[in-house]
Amino acid sequence: MPHPEADPHIRLDLYQDRSSAVTATITGTPTRTIHALLTLHGFESLDEQTMVMARIDGEEPHYAEQAARALRAENITVDITAELRDEIDTEWTRANYPMPWCSREEIREESNDAQKIYDDIRHGRLIIHAHAHDGWTTVAVGTYLDGPSIHLHGENHLRAESTRYDSPVEAITEFDRLYGDAVRPGPAPATSTEHEAERARTSLPGTDDAPMAPVTTKLVDAHAAAAGNHEALLNDFLESHGEWEKWRTWSDDTTHAVHESLVLRTEFVHEASPDDVQWTIGAYESPVGERLWHANATTTVPVQILRVLLNSLASGDATKIAAGSPVSEETFSEATRPLADAGWEHAIDGRWIRWQAPGDQPVGVQFDAFATRAHPSAPAAWTFWAGSVHAPIWALHFSRHTAASVLQDVAFEVANGLTQTSIMTRSRHHNVISRISTHAPPASRVSGARRQ
């Protein structure tokens, strides 16, 4: 018979740095049964002795009490601290809740439905194809792995399913019709509430940082560490290419680089937030004509890739580059030839064709066949990314009529401008910190490209 001190004992308490999250500290000898029961009630492991429940609806104390009752019914000793008990016993309601006629229990049910959607997205059971902002809140379209396609409306505890469809094509087509130019590929950026929940799930209470991932050796871009030098890159490009003129907006927060033909234009946002779009490139049929294709890049795209992109824009006849390329078998092959030459494998997944760098390298390219049927200003047809296509460390997007020569130049740099290096990454509020050894990058194939 086991010694009494070895019997498992659970202490439920508030997570120190996030008032609503709840920790479960296990003393004695943890068992798989205890971990399984806590997991069933929404707890996730931080280490062998500590689990945490961090939700996006702020209802952790309520569900922690439910967990305590279930565990006690299994003859497991559970203590609830005075601080957590106060939270459990406190009656509260949400300010400015959009459905004020709902009772507290009805609000809790709606919030729990939002939590389930969030968990389904986080665990990969619900794949988000695209998102948009409808002027009031975030909307999205997605498909369950073993279920229907849906439209979503709202954020955090207000996210809800608005419409259900029989097929992804039907859902995506209607989403594009409803939101047009506002549509962006993939899931929306995480909200501050989601960031806080993620941090609670990845760091022990009382620690400042999320746990560091072990140092691994991967193929990563040799210039990822220089992702913060975008402004210097812009100034260098303008100094080196007299045919491009610089001007800043009256608010002084954006710089525009415009080709003398006025058919190629670049917008640079100086104070873009992490992971936001910092570069927007537009190609036009004439100085006052319609935009034919566009590209945008997040703040974390490696400088060398952006340098190749800018030099590609400046390497030939601006009018021909701005005219772009129709999507055809010939232009498709031209754009992706560097990937095939570098040994990248591709696979077809529904509407997407994806290329993956050799081995387990966290770099890829995605082509969205659906975007080829949309308006030229519609969401990206091409996405170059590192990390994960659904949660990228950096992402570079191109619309469907982008010049094949530009795509080929970027593909060449992404496929060949990589070097074996050590990278140490850790995530805190989804920021990525990289320590990269110094290696000289290979010369770009773009005419006029400069070496660092």
Per residue in 226-260, pLDDT (tens digit) is 345 788 899 889 999 989 988 765 556 788 899 99
Enter the pTM of the model.
Answer: 0.47
> Token pair for residue 158?
């207000």
On the question of pLDDT at 449 being above 50, the answer is no
Does residue 19 lie within any of the structural domains? yes
> Token pair for residue 392?
């990228």
Both 361 and 241 in one domain: the answer is yes
Position 18 scores a pLDDT of 64
Q: What distance in Å separates the CA atoms of residue 234 and residue 232, rounded to the nearest whole number?
A: 5
Q: Is 339 helix (H, G, I), strand (E, B) or coil?
A: helix
Q: What is the mean pLDDT of residues 208-212?
A: 44
On the question of pLDDT at 223 being above 60, the answer is no
Position 197 scores a pLDDT of 86
- Element containing residue 377 per DSSP (H, E): none
The answer to whether 34 touches 51, Cβ cutoff 8 Å, is: no
On the question of pLDDT at 151 being above 90, the answer is yes
Per residue in 70-103, pLDDT (tens digit) is 889 888 889 999 988 888 887 766 655 666 777 7
Helices then strands, each counted (H, E), the chain: 11, 24
Per residue in 107-147, pLDDT (tens digit) is 888 889 999 999 999 888 899 988 998 888 899 999 998 88
Question: Predicted confidence band at 6 (pLDDT cuts at 50, 70, 90)?
Answer: low
Q: What distance in Å separates the CA atoms of residue 261 and residue 272, rounded to the nearest whole number?
A: 28
Per residue in 389-440, pLDDT (tens digit) is 777 888 999 998 999 999 999 999 999 875 332 222 222 222 322 222 223 3
Both 266 and 385 in one domain: the answer is yes
Both 57 and 138 in one domain: the answer is no
Does residue 127 lie within any of the structural domains? yes
- Candidates 385, 378, 380, 386; CA nearest to 367 is 380
Does residue 285 lie within any of the structural domains? yes
Position 9 scores a pLDDT of 87
The identity of residue 370, as a single letter, is F
Length of the chain: 452
Burial class (CB in 10 A: 0-12, 13-18, 19+), 285: middle
Q: Among 40, 65, 89, which residue terminates a domain?
A: 89
Q: Is 23 helix (H, G, I), strand (E, B) or coil?
A: strand
Both 116 and 80 in one domain: the answer is no
Both 81 and 113 in one domain: the answer is no
Q: What distance in Å separates the CA atoms of residue 34 and residue 183, rounded to the nearest whole number?
A: 44
Both 58 and 148 in one domain: the answer is no
Position 414 scores a pLDDT of 92
On the question of pLDDT at 184 being above 70, the answer is yes
- Candidates 293, 298, 232, 286; CA nearest to 259 is 286
Largest CA distance in the chain: 86
Position 424 scores a pLDDT of 24
Does residue 446 lie within any of the structural domains? no
Among 37-51, 75-89, 174-188, 244-258, where is mean pLDDT lowest? 244-258
Does residue 437 lie within any of the structural domains? no
Q: What distance in Å separates the CA atoms of residue 43 and residue 35, rounded to the nearest whole number?
A: 8
Both 133 and 267 in one domain: the answer is no
Domain of 48, CATH number, reads 3.30.70
On the question of pLDDT at 224 being above 50, the answer is no
Position 316 scores a pLDDT of 86
Domain around 114: 104-192
Question: Predicted confidence band at 317 (pLDDT cuts at 50, 70, 90)?
Answer: very high
The highest-confidence range among 81-90, 290-299, 365-374, 410-419, by mean pLDDT, is 290-299
Name the more confident of 200 and 396.
396
Both 362 and 226 in one domain: the answer is yes
Does residue 439 lie within any of the structural domains? no
Residue written as tokens 């939002």? 114
Mean per-residue pLDDT over the chain, rounded: 79
Query: If you write DSSP's letter for every residue of 72-141 in order, what string do you get?
Result: HHTT-EEEE-HHHHHHHH-----TT-S-TTS-HHHHHHHHHHHHHHHHHHHTTSEEEEEEEE-SSSEEEE
Name the more confident of 100 and 447.
100
Task: State how many domains the chain has.
Answer: 3
Position 146 scores a pLDDT of 83
On the question of pLDDT at 294 being above 90, the answer is yes
- Candidates 66, 43, 59, 122; CA nearest to 91 is 59
> What percent of the chain shows pLDDT beyond 90?
30
Q: What is the mean pLDDT of residues 148-171?
A: 92
Both 59 and 113 in one domain: the answer is no
Q: What is the mean pLDDT of residues 342-348?
A: 86
Position 373 scores a pLDDT of 59
Position 206 scores a pLDDT of 60
Position 27 scores a pLDDT of 85
Among 10-14, 81-85, 267-271, 422-426, where is mean pLDDT lowest? 422-426
Q: What is the mean pLDDT of residues 267-275?
A: 82
Does residue 438 lie within any of the structural domains? no
Question: Predicted confidence band at 295 (pLDDT cuts at 50, 70, 90)?
Answer: very high
Both 233 and 327 in one domain: the answer is yes
Q: Is 68 helix (H, G, I), strand (E, B) or coil?
A: helix
| Alpha helices per DSSP H over 203-342 | 230-240, 303-313, 318-323, 329-341
Both 170 and 223 in one domain: the answer is no
Q: What distance in Å separates the CA atoms of residue 28 and residue 25, rounded to the nearest whole number?
A: 10
Both 48 and 144 in one domain: the answer is no
Does residue 340 lie within any of the structural domains? yes
Position 416 scores a pLDDT of 85
Name the more confident of 227 and 353.
353
